[in-house]
């Protein structure tokens, strides 16, 4: 027996939600893609988001301390625009299919760096992978097969990112993301 059983740990991540109407615009597209490419698990529209930092399973006390640090993050709001599709992994049967950040990648990266610093402050292990902002649409199943031709994702209006969100991820047959806290971005002292 080593250490705690971790029964009350919280699986969490930080991210940017997609506004409700943008998710609604993507719903039909995701639906169509899931018919065309059943070798992939398509993200249910309510779950569409941009991950800023995956935290893993944390003790509530650590999460609380991290949250306190995140409240100190100061950054002005910024415009986010998505456009087009990209993939990670082999071209013909990628591991991940995502929406590209056309505008706002720098704002996302600045935010991710501030979050990384806050994470380090509370003793979390550094994120080894380079931050590449994207909105995941689908992940390959075990044997995805060849990715078929997919329709173009719908054009989405850019929006103003005025905060970021701490989510709890509840894994199950259907993954549920629960918003635990929201941290506003502000233009600074007036
Ligand atoms: P499932 O794992 O069942 O597919 P999910 O990926 O939606 O569900 P989580 O695994 O809890 O749910 O992930 C929450 C978010 O964090 C997602 O955006 C996911 O891509 C991202 N994420 C998960 N694991 C990692 C990791 N090891 N490194 C970076 N990001 C991760
Ligand atoms: Mg996952």
* Contact predicate 118/73, CB 8 Å: yes
pLDDT band for position 6 (cuts 50, 70, 90): low
User: 134, 137, 144, 183: which is the annotated catalytic residue?
Assistant: 134
- Ligand 2 centroid to Cα of residue 44, in Å, is 13
In 10 A of CB 23, how many CB atoms? 19
Residues 6 or more apart whose CB falls under 8 angstroms from that of 96 comprise 87, 88, 89, 136, 138, 139, 140
Return the residue whose CA atom lies nearest to atom 27 of ligand 1: 54
Catalytic residue among 22, 29, 49, 53: 49
**pLDDT at position 2:** 44
The rounded Å distance from CA 80 to ligand 2 centre is: 24
11 lines ligand 1 (CB under 6 A): yes
Question: Domain residue spans in the chain?
Answer: 10-183
Ligand 2 midpoint to CA 35 (Å):
22
177: which 2 tokens? Answer: 């993301």
Predicted model pTM:
0.94
* 171 Cβ inside 6 Å of ligand 1: yes
Indicate the top mutation candidate among 17, 57, 175 to test ligand 1's pocket, ranked by most ligand atoms within 8 A of CB: 175
Q: CA–CA separation, 39 vs 76, rounded Å?
A: 40
What average pLDDT score do residues 158-172 get? 97
Quick check: CB of 16 below 6 Å from ligand 1? no
How sure is the predictor about 1, in pLDDT bands with cuts at 50, 70 and 90? Answer: very low
pLDDT at 12 over 60: yes
The whole-chain average pLDDT of the chain stands at 95
Residue 187: per-residue pLDDT: 80
Ligand 1 site, residue 12, Cβ cutoff 6 A: no
Judge whether 134 counts as a catalytic residue: yes
Q: Return the minimum-mean-pLDDT range out of 4-8, 87-91, 111-115, 117-121.
A: 4-8
Select from 164, 163, 159, 139 the least CA-distant residue to 55. Answer: 164
At residue 189, the pLDDT reads 59
CA–CA gap between residue 61 and residue 58 (Å, rounded): 8
Averaged pLDDT for residues 162-174: 96
Summarised one tens digit per residue, pLDDT across range 124-154 is 999 999 999 999 999 999 999 999 999 999 9
- Note the CATH architecture for domain 10-183: Alpha-Beta Complex (3.90)
**Cα 12 to Cα 166: distance, rounded to the nearest angstrom:** 7
């Amino acid at each position: 027996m080593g250490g705690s059983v971790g029964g009350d740990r919280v699986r969490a991540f930080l991210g940017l939600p997609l506004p409700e109407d943008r998710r609604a615009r993507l719903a039909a597209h995701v639906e169509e893609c899931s018919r065309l490419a059943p070798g992939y698990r398509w993200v249910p529209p309510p779950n569409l988001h941009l991950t800023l930092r995956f935290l893993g399973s944390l003790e509530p006390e650590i999460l609380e301390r991290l949250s306190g640090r995140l409240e100190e993050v100061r950054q002005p709001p910024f415009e986010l625009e998505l456009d087009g599709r990209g993939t990670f992994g082999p071209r013909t049967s990628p591991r991940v299919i995502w929406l590209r950040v056309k505008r706002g990648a720098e704002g996302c990266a600045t935010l991710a760096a501030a979050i990384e610093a806050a994470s380090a402050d509370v003793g979390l292990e550094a994120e080894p992978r380079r931050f590449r902002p994207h909105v995941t649409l689908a992940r390959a199943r075990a044997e995805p097969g060849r990715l078929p031709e997919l329709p173009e994702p719908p054009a989405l209006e850019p929006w103003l990112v005025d905060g970021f969100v701490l989510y709890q991820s509840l894994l199950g047959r259907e993954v549920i993301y629960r918003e635990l806290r929201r941290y506003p971005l502000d233009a600074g002292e007036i």
